[in-house]
Amino acid sequence: MSDAPDLVLIPNTADVITNGPQYIARSLLAPFQAAAAEFRAEAGRPVYVAEAYRSDTEQRRIFLERYYRVDYPTSVLYEGSYWVKRTGVATAAVPGSIYARHRLGEALDLWSGIDTSFLSPNHLIWVRVAKKHGWDNTGRGFGEPWHQQGTPVTSPAPAPIPESQEDDDMTEDDRKILKQAAADAKAARDHADTAKQAVARLEAATIGTGKYTIVNNLETIKKSQARVEVLANTISNGVGKRIAKLKA
């Protein structure tokens, strides 16, 4: 499985049964399990995974079984030749293409009545519950009700902490010192390319319990670069004043 991204074994549970060991992209396991649990609650049966991850070698083998080379243009181009699907077989994505999602562990072929028809009761249940967890029956585009593709559902970024919720010890002078120190740090970084030695970033630590902690990562500046040294001293003085105020 070295040719695939981060994969994990799909465990057999009350909600999921697999056709032997089957692997899925790690980020998609939990969303799939959640969808399978909802499916079983409504359909009364577990989801059967016929196939999940498929190596490029296996994808090529399947492609060559189902397609044959022709000497006229078609919509399928592979290895510099045009190809046509054999009659009576399912489609197969061109190996290594963006459509070959099995190779990434992002596509599943599902049975349990999901595969029999686009209008079967179990297919309709699956499509409805799976959509909430980032799964889509992309196989509808090429006649495969069993082919499902997952996209992780990302959580929204946490809202920033309103200024009114900041530490009560943060005075207006404190904010001015921090603002000036940040400006000095930026100016020092802007001149670092001429100094041949960077001024480390001034890092303001996260809000603590009742106080702010300032971390000064200022590094040694070449003495020959007078301007950068002055800026560095300004940063140090600003941090020193801030620390003194916190200790007072």
Buried b (16+ CB within 10 A) or exposed e, 75-103: ebebeeeebebeeeeebbbbbeeeebbbb
According to the model, what pLDDT value does residue 28 have?
96
According to the model, what pLDDT value does residue 219 have?
39
DSSP designation for 138: G
Instruction: State both tokens at 238.
Output: 């600003």
Q: In the predicted model, what is the mean pLDDT of residues 98-109? A: 92
Instruction: State both tokens at 246.
Output: 């916190």
Query: Which of 80-89, 97-106, 173-182, 223-232 reaches the highest mean pLDDT?
Result: 80-89
Instruction: State both tokens at 121.
Output: 């009761």
The residue among 96 and 166 whose pLDDT is bigger is: 96
Per-residue pLDDT band at 177 (split at 50, 70, 90):
confident
Q: HSE of 72 in the Cβ direction (CA atoms, 13 Å)?
A: 1
The secondary structure of 210-243 as a DSSP string is SS--EEE-PPP--TT-HHHHHHHHHHHHHHHHHH
According to the model, what pLDDT value does residue 196 have?
42
CA dihedral sign, ordered 206, 211, 217, 221? positive
Separation in Å, CA 221 to CA 194, 195, 200, 234: 11, 8, 10, 13
CA separation for the pair 53, 103 (Å, rounded) = 6
What percent of the chain is modeled with pLDDT above 90? 55
Calculate the average pLDDT of the chain: 78
Q: How many helices and strands, by DSSP H and E, does the chain display?
A: 6, 12
Residue 117's CB is within 10 A of a number of other CB atoms, namely 12
The residue among 8 and 193 whose pLDDT is bigger is: 8
Per-residue pLDDT band at 218 (split at 50, 70, 90):
very low
pLDDT tens-digit profile of 21-32? 999 999 999 999
pLDDT tens-digit profile of 19-71? 999 999 999 999 999 999 999 999 999 999 999 999 999 999 999 999 999 99
Least confident of 192-196, 208-212, 231-235, 237-241: 208-212
CB 204 within 8 A of CB 174: no
According to the model, what pLDDT value does residue 191 have?
61
Q: What domains, with CATH codes, occur in the chain?
A: 7-150 (3.30.1380.10), 163-247 (no CATH)
Q: Is pLDDT of 208 > 50? A: no
